[in-house]
Amino acid sequence: MLTASDSGRRTLIAAAFLILVATAAGAFGTHALKPTLSEARFDSYQIAVSYQFFHALGLLAIGLLQRQHPGATLLRAAARLILLGIALFAGSIYGITFGGPKLLGMVAPLGGLSLMLAWLVFAVAVARLPRGVSSAN
């Protein structure tokens, strides 16, 4: 069981790792893959890197919010859906780029669905958070 002090910690660590990997994947793609891949395949690879980057940045925000609201189970669910979405969406495209079976292409839409659902769950989670105390008199 996670304690209040651990809430969001794993999410922040995962986000940092995913940003690290996206940075490395982007650099590797530009310097090593671009000369060897078709333009279409390189574009797909770049889309995977971009999606990983943007959603990992969003995951950082969720992790920070989890630190402020350790009991918010919907925030945890949103974080898990983003992790799943990145793994399925970007992971399947990376797999195809490196010679995996074309059937992996059927996995990418499931990842996209998971990412969209994550942001819907996040919106509901934020709407349900207690309102802050106003400093106005």
Predicted confidence (pLDDT) per residue in 75-91, tens digit: 999 999 999 999 999 99
For the chain, what is the domain count? Answer: 1
- What does the pLDDT average to over 98-115? 95
Rounded to the nearest 10°, the torsion over CA 80, 123, 12, 28 is 80
Tokens 């390189």 sit on residue: 42
Residue 44 CB partners (closer than 8 Å, separation 6+) = 93, 96, 97
Residue 92: which domain range? 9-128
Whether pLDDT at 133 is above 50: no
- With respect to residue 108, please indicate whether it lies within any of the assigned structural domains: yes
Give the torsion through C-alpha atoms of 66, 67, 69, 73, to 10 deg. 30
Q: Let me know if residue 75 belongs to a domain.
A: yes
